[in-house]
Structure formats: C-alpha cells, structure tokens
Amino acid sequence: MITVILVIHLLIAIAMVALILLQRSEGGALGIGGGGGGGGVMSGRAAGNLLTRSTGILAAAFMATSLTLAILADSGQRTGSVLDAAPPATEAGEQAPDADAGTVPAPDAAPAETAPAVPSAPLSE
C-alpha cells in the first residue's frame, strides 16, 4: 500500500515540477525567463489559467499523498502514551525503587576490587 502511494507521490511531484517550469515567468529576477514579447511555451490567458489550476490541483494532491504517507508510516508504531512509560514521581530525598529490587546482593558478599590507596605527598610551601 505504501509503495503504491509513494509511486503516485513521485509522479505527482514530477508532473508538478514540469507544470511549474512551463509557466511563464513574470518576475525576471535573474534576467532570464519569458518576460519578452513571445515568452513561454503556452501563451494566452486561457493557457495560463489552465496551468495555474493544474498546478493547484497537483499541489493539493501532493499534500494529500504526503499526509497519507506520514500517517501510514506511523501506524502501529506506538502502543501507549509517553506518560505510561515514565517512572513514578517521588518526593524530594526519596529514591525510586529499582526495577530489579528482588536481586539485592547478600550482605556477606565480597566487595568489588578497588584500586590501592595512593598516599598523598605533603604540601610544602
């Protein structure tokens, strides 16, 4: 399903780019474009309206497929709220109980190896 919508999305994007490039440039911001006498592949008011409407329809279809892909990509990922996975709140000074509190080491267990203490040299002034 996602693959089919993705292919339609890409075809809409390519068609929209082609329609935008076919439209006559009116700004001439870079000094290029069809601002001259016979500029543009399609001329006339009717052709301009057709291209503008087609671009708007393709833009709406592009947004619809974008939202559909986003919704389908997220479906089935979340099972609950973020707050459901949060640890319980504690008062100041208390520590939250560990999840594996049943596996407390025995009191007679030997402590882990520690590095030998290094004597500090007296500070001389």
Q: Is residue 7 part of a domain?
A: yes
Q: Is residue 94 part of a domain?
A: no
Per residue in 60-108, pLDDT tens?
A: 999 999 999 999 988 767 666 777 777 776 776 566 555 555 565 566 6
| Residue appearing with tokens 């543009």 | 40
Considering Cα of 117, then 118, then 119, then 122, what sign does the dihedral take?
negative
Q: Is residue 120 part of a domain?
A: no
Q: Is residue 51 part of a domain?
A: yes
Q: Is residue 52 part of a domain?
A: yes
Q: Residue 48 — pLDDT band, cuts 50, 70, 90?
A: confident
Distance, C-alpha 105 to centroid of its chain = 45
Q: Give me the domain span that covers residue 64.
A: 2-24+45-74
Q: Is residue 70 part of a domain?
A: yes
Q: Is residue 36 part of a domain?
A: no
Specify burial of residue 5 (Cβ count, 10 A radius: 0-12, 13-18, 19+): middle
User: What's the pLDDT score for residue 104?
Assistant: 59
Q: Is residue 39 part of a domain?
A: no
User: What's the pLDDT score for residue 83?
Assistant: 75
Q: Count structural domains, the chain.
A: 1
